[in-house]
Amino acid sequence: MRIALFITCIGDTFFADAGRATVRVLERLGHEVVFPEEQTCCGQMHLNSGYARDAARLRRRFEKIFAGFDAVVSPSSSCVGTVRELYGMENVLELSELLVRRLGVEDVGASFDGRVTYHPTCHSLRVTRVGDAPLRLLQQVRGLELVELPRADECCGFGGTFAIKNAETSSAMLADKCDAIAETQATVCTAVDGSCLLQIGGGLSRRGAPARAVHLAEILASA
Amino acid sequence: MTSFPEAARVELQNEQLRANLRKATDTIRTKRAGVVAEVPDWEALREAGRAVKEDVLAHLDEYLVQFESAVQAAGGVVHWARDAEEANAVVADVARAHGADEVVKMKSLTTDEIELNAALADAGIHALETDFAELILQLDGDWSSHILVPAIHRNRSEIRDLFARTIAPDITSDEPADLAEASRRYLRERFLGARVGVSGANFGIAETGTICIVESEGNGRMCTTLPPVLVTVLGIEKLLPRFGDLEVFLQLLPRSSTGERMNPYTSLWTGVTDGDGPQELHVVLLDNGRTRVLADEMGRQALHCIRCSACLNVCPVYSRTGGHAYGSVYPGPIGAILTPQLRGIENAASLPFASTLCGACYEVCPVKIDIPRVLLHLRAKAVEAKSAPAEAAALRAAAWTFASPRRFAVAQRLLTPLARLRVIRRLPWPLSRWTATRDLRPPAREPFRVWWRKRP
């Protein structure tokens, strides 16, 4: 299948590894990945911050660039949520959804050495509803020990500009999330959203925790 | 009003509050999840509840007049109140007309919203709160922090000490049963002597003029049956078209609210009945900003709310900050969309931003209020109403950058010096608010688009 990659602004800038990993996983499965270079940001940040007019312009750009593809994949369920649930673009899928639901693949041939816990991000849980797709993929990774995260369905406190505007509340939520990760004694916390991993990873790093935050795509790409 | 972030900052420092909240909200949400899971057609019920409320709001003018006629036909008196002042005056006038210097009150958010107790106090009338938690707050000059569990921020030893100082000098135990007994003794006599009772309402039935309240303690039934005069204050959005609609809502409400299959007391009354219950009934229909909410097609779904508080119990923000940070009797996610609409966005502009948009509230709402969607809608209004020059400039710059892939690539190149760092520990304001508690992952040494171009 010919699949367009929607890398997202945060993914492009901060999680380039996850982007490369997404390409690697899909190519390994025999698919063709294209990257429309006109893409920048879907407009979620502006929309969620109350700048509706700017968001509308970015939305029109986005639709023009991606409307023509049969399938668009993104390593960010939050951005997928915006463009699919709010803009109504049914052709856009988060990576784990694409693999498990659309392509019917659970074993992507990955090996990963480590004790891993999975944080279901809010938008993957309640907006794009990826369900257990990421867990099914993780269960098939050789060498990987999957451990359950307590209070997994609770928000990590990122919330875009919320993390800055309501920094103290955001930090209180993050502290609880980091505590939960520590309880699992995992070496890696993974998720399908770069933005949430920015928050969780930042919290883990600040407290010198043994666990690090790694995007699901990177685990699936490792061999 | 103090902005949410400022108020939250203070509340977050109270470790006891956070521990109480965590425990209480965890308990209720687990109970709720259990009793909701037993109902095979829960989703259909939610949809039915939503549809009924949507219909009520679409034809509110007709239902209100129908309700008024039905109440009058059953012997009640209907008063229309544009705002808090008018509503409070009605209650004060009724109490005065009956020479009452005290009224007994059941727990009611609507009367809290209009600050009825303070207005009555100004008229020389004491409003006695008879709900256990409301009594606690009243005795201590405190105010509610949760829709259903107003004193959720207090624990039982604090309550024992308060009772020892006020209504039960001899109390030494902080066992729940002993605390309840102390309040029962204090309240019982006051109920029997009261000439006027005041209630809110969960539902008003347009077809029959019936008023319905659901409660746990039975104090509400005493307030609505013992005094010879009853005043019921209800927001105009509380109507249901038909008596049969209760079938839907009496399933949705207790399960969502207390996590019970059915609440202990459900009271229904229609006008006055000879020789039974109050012989004089006044019904106050309150607007107080509701028609303004109704005028907003996206925002009006906030008026669907049946005050169950399920959204509070699952909210990751509420469970950290508690209710007081929201500066209103309507805290939590529902408060974040209701208060700015009732008071005007310019008076509560920070509330729509008091959310991570995690969506947990929408998932549990028994009448399917799409709270995240309304939050987005109100955020746009807040930005229009109240300019934040620094933020607006930053977002305008971001939009300009995102409008062209070339500019975006330049911006990424400007960040590359940071990519050489292993971790970013300090950033200038406003990003210092991030790095106060979190490191920042450095940007990629090579942005994805650069790597893609170089690919063979």
pLDDT of residue B456: 86
Look at strands A71-74 and A92-94 and give their pairing: parallel
Rounded (10°) angle between helices B156-165 and B132-140: 60
pLDDT of residue A141: 98
* Closest alpha carbon to A180 in A160, A200, A197: A200
Q: What is the pLDDT of residues B323-346, one digit of tens each?
A: 999 999 999 999 999 999 999 999
Q: Residue A99: in which H helix or E strand, if any?
A: none
Residues of B in contact with A119 (CB under 8 A): none
Q: Which two tokens stand for residue B232?
A: 């019921």
Map residue B198 onto helix, strand or coil.
strand
- Residue of chain A whose alpha carbon sits nearest to that of B455: A20
Average pLDDT over residues B202-222: 97
Confidence of residue B359 (pLDDT cuts 50, 70, 90): very high
**Residue position matching structure tokens 């008063």:** B79
- Residue of chain B whose alpha carbon sits nearest to that of A207: B438
Rounded to two decimals, the pTM is 0.96
CB B230 within 8 A of CB B236: no
Distance from CA of B108 to the nearest CA of A (A): 29
Average pLDDT over residues B166-192: 95
Taking CA atoms, A189 is separated from A33, A40, A116, A123, B73, in Å, by 27, 27, 6, 17, 65
Confidence of residue B361 (pLDDT cuts 50, 70, 90): very high
Q: What is the pLDDT of residues B263-316, one digit of tens each?
A: 999 999 999 999 999 999 999 999 999 999 999 999 999 999 999 999 999 999
Contact A155 B358 (CB under 8 A): yes
**Residues linked to residue B129 through DSSP beta bridges, in sequence order:** B105
Contact B448 A9 (CB under 8 A): no
Count H helices and E strands in chain A, helices first: 12, 8
Contact B354 A161 (CB under 8 A): no
Contact B452 A47 (CB under 8 A): no
**Residue position matching structure tokens 């429309």:** A36
- Residue A109 CA to residue A140 CA, distance in Å, equals 8
Distance from CA of B409 to the nearest CA of A (A): 9
Burial of residue A193, with CB atoms counted within 10 A of its CB: 0-12 exposed, 13-18 middle, 19 or more buried:
buried
Burial of residue B170, with CB atoms counted within 10 A of its CB: 0-12 exposed, 13-18 middle, 19 or more buried:
exposed
The total number of residues shown for chain A amounts to: 223
**Residues linked to residue B213 through DSSP beta bridges, in sequence order:** B267
Contact B316 A157 (CB under 8 A): yes
- In the DSSP assignment, the letter for residue B352 is G
Torsion of CA A62, A66, A67, A72, to 10 degrees: -130
Taking CA atoms, B182 is separated from A73, B156, B187, B440, in Å, by 63, 13, 9, 54
